Amino acid sequence: MCIIIDTNSLGNVFNTFSQNHEEFEPIFKWILEGKGKVVFGGTKYMSEIGPNYRKLFTELRNAKKAVRVENEKVDQLEAKIRNAVRDADFDDQHIIALLISSGCKLICSEDRRAYPYFRNLLFFKFAKKRPKIYRGRSNSPLLTDSNISSICRPCDPLSNREKQRVNLILNI
């Protein structure tokens, strides 16, 4: 299974000292100990994450626990979405573009304003293609093999060596 983690949730997922980490810890464990993978990409998304998360995503990618979608692919789709929906309250076109271009079925976000767009039939014409939203620990049943998109296959747990490298980056 793979997940896109909105930049507003990265700290809660990966920073074990975050006040809300407990709510997002299932994602953390699912990536580091299970079959989970992170999907990322696009110019705006990459500019929103800091160098520490770029380093973490690079390490996860080297360990086959992260998948990067080409910036150009996401950026082109983002521009089309921006032209299709002109709403001052909608500023996550890049996340929609990343969801569509990757085929990812799960998004982790704390931006409630964006939830209607993440599942909008304008972008996801078939109900079965609409992504699910992880909002907290109560959504941990979403972290299943049935939500693995083809871009994230195969899905294997990290080796002990890879876990150590990721933990060093996370300072845990």
pLDDT digits (tens, 9 = 90+) for 1-21: 799 999 999 999 999 999 999
Q: Do β-strands 106-108 and 66-69 pair in parallel, antiparallel, or remain unpaired?
A: unpaired
8 A C-beta contact, residue 4 and residue 48: no
Contacts of 145 (CB under 8 A, 6+ apart): 1, 35, 155
Domain ranges of the chain: 2-170
pTM of the predicted structure, to 2 decimals: 0.91
Q: Is 115 helix (H, G, I), strand (E, B) or coil?
A: helix
The average pLDDT across 102-125 equals: 91
Dihedral (CA of 8, 12, 17, 21) sign = positive
Q: What is the DSSP letter of 131?
A: P
The pLDDT score that the predictor gives to residue 169 is 82
Q: How confident is the model at residue 90 (pLDDT cuts 50, 70, 90)?
A: confident
